[in-house]
Structure 1
Amino acid sequence: MVLTGHCLCKAVTFKADVEEPLLTGYDHCDDCQRQSGSTYSLVVVVPKDKLTTEGPIKKWKGTADSGNSVYRWFCSECGSPIAHDPEAAPVIALKGGCLDSPIKKALKPTTEIWTHGKLPFCQEKLEHPFEYMPN
């Protein structure tokens, strides 16, 4: 399976050549809520070494609860969030909304991460919840 996508203005494109995502789910952490401007962020986690990007990406460095750095990737032209990249992990979380339409329509989220930050009015529960990030 090849996951392809782009930002709103199409200046940034990406491709992840994977058999399947390592995780597809809702990320309820406060940073993802703020980055998405919504109650959670739909994430599709893939190995970093399987991802290629083209275009003007800007990276903002934040700090995770662990103290490690997390880089939030945005299109420098339109501001669309593309991914979040935990420096200490070999994986990257692509923002599901940026995937090409046929791919994102076929996603089947099964996991919720950072349910510690889940807003109380979010009622849906997926089969594999994690209070924080799974190991």
Structure 2
Amino acid sequence: MVLTGHCLCKAVTYTANVDAPLLTGYDHCDDCQRQSGSTYSLVVVVPQDSLTVKGPLKKWKGIAASGNAVYRWFCEECGSPIAHDPEAAPVVALKGGSLDTEIKKTLKPDTEIWTAGKLPFCQEHLEHPFEFMPGH
């Protein structure tokens, strides 16, 4: 499966060659709420080494609740969020909304992460909720 996507102005493009995403779900952490400007961020997690990114990408280093760095990626031109890259794992969480339209129509989120930050009015209830990150 090849996942492709781009920012709003199409200056940043990416391709991830994967058999399937490692995880597709809703990330309710406060940082994702702020980066997305919404109640959660739809993320499609892929191995770092599967991803190729082209264009004027800016990375901002933040610190997660764990104390580890998380790099938030966005387009330098239009500011669209592209992904976040946790220093603690060799993965990248692509922002689901940045995937090409036909690909994002096929997504089937089955996981919620950081439900500790889930806002009380969010009604999504998926099979695999995690209070924080899986494995923590």
TM > 0.5 between the two? yes
Residue 82 of structure 1 aligns to a residue whose secondary structure is: strand
- 1:86 is aligned with what amino acid? P
Q: Are 1:23 and 2:26 an aligned pair?
A: no
CA RMSD of aligned residues (A): 0.4
- 1:84 is aligned with what amino acid? H
Q: Which runs of 4+ in 1 moved over 4 A?
A: none
CA shift for structure 1 position 86: 0.4
CA shift for structure 1 position 123: 1.2
1:82-129 CA distance string (max 9 Å, x none): 000001211110000000000000000000000000000001200100
Equivalents in 1 of 2:131, 2:80: separation in Å?
27
Aligned to 1:96: 96
Question: For residues 32-111 of structure 1, what are the structure 2 equivalents within 5 Å?
Answer: 32-111=32-111
Equivalents in 2 of 1:78, 1:110: separation in Å?
30
Q: Percent identity of the aligned residues?
A: 82
Equivalents in 1 of 2:91, 2:27: separation in Å?
15
Which ranges in structure 2 are unaligned for 5 or more consecutive residues? none
Provide TM-score, normalisation by structure 2: 0.98
Equivalents in 1 of 2:119, 2:65: separation in Å?
18
1:39-69 CA distance string (max 9 Å, x none): 0000000000000000000000000011000
Residue 112 of structure 2 aligns to a residue whose secondary structure is: strand
Aligned to 2:113: 113
Counting matched residue pairs gives: 135
Residue 120 of structure 1 aligns to a residue whose secondary structure is: coil
Provide TM-score, normalisation by structure 1: 0.99
CA shift for structure 1 position 30: 0.2
Aligned to 1:4: 4
